[in-house]
Structure 1
Amino acid sequence: MPTPTHLRQGQSAEDAALAYLVQQGLHYLTRNFRSRFGEIDLIMQQQETLVFVEVRYRVSTHFGGGLGSITPQKIRRCRATAEVYLRRYTRLPPCRFDVISINGNLEQATALTWVQDAF
């Protein structure tokens, strides 16, 4: 179970990712969309494409950092949760799954990596 400190760090990482993506021209739709399968951190829109964003924050890259923490199980849960979200649409828009990885200090802009169409 995450500690209050980890929850605050996760919230701060999502805030940083959201600000970065808005700066890159994406439009915010929702945050922390939950289903019985899991949670999607951010749902954004880039032109006509829905973008499901997984935000991963790690203090150290010793064990692969944020990108290295994406497991096949996490990918399955993200896809299943995205399907729940997409059932709300009568016409399915194109969509993709992106990952924002933040390693190290949250205040360092250079620590943020955006991987588009990650899985």
Structure 2
Amino acid sequence: MTVFNLNKRQQGQTYERMAEQFLSRHRLKLIERNFSCRGGEIDLIMRQGKCFVFIEVKYRTHRHFGSASEAVNWHKQQKIKRTALFWLQKNGFSIDKTECRFDVVTIEGQEHHIEWHTNILVEG
């Protein structure tokens, strides 16, 4: 069975697992998958050393409507940020004293080309 025979949710989970495996090979440790709250969802929450990494995973078969990384626009970034801040508070971490960053893992094409974009949050 190929990824394309799966429904959208199953496809998303498959690509998130690919991203998780890729990041694990780069020494990130999984904390939580698919954290969701009223404000949004974060695909992967991982840790690299003392830093919490909030990760959005995007897949695109082709670039007809833009690249996978272009899909994580300013509005999406702000939603991820609010959700991450909620997660930190919910888990007892000080927002001011906890190191964290926001990454995007893109997977493109049928060859599943993976790129890891670190610290993508655009302020302003």
TM-score clears 0.5? yes
Q: What's the CA shift string for 1:62-106, capped at 9, x where partnerless?
A: 22221011122211110110011110224442000000001112x
Match of 2:118 among 111, 116, 119: 116
Aligned pairs, number: 113
Q: What's the CA shift string for 1:31-69, capped at 9, x where partnerless?
A: 000111100000000000000000001111222221011
Cα separation, 1, equivalents of 2:52 and 2:114: 21
Cα separation, 2, equivalents of 1:85 and 1:41: 13
Q: Identity of paired residues, percent? A: 35
Matches within 5 A, 1:1-119: 5-87=7-89, 88-91=91-94, 92-105=97-110, 108=111, 111-119=113-121
Q: How big is the alpha-carbon RMSD for the aligned residues of Structure 1 and Structure 2?
A: 1.3
With the length of structure 1 as denominator, give the TM-score of the two structures.
0.89
Q: Which runs of 5+ in 2 are unaligned?
A: 1-5
With the length of structure 2 as denominator, give the TM-score of the two structures.
0.85
The amino acid of 1:89's aligned partner reads G
Q: Which runs of 5+ in 1 are unaligned?
A: none
- Post-superposition, which runs of at least 4 consecutive aligned residues in structure 1 deviate over 3 A? none
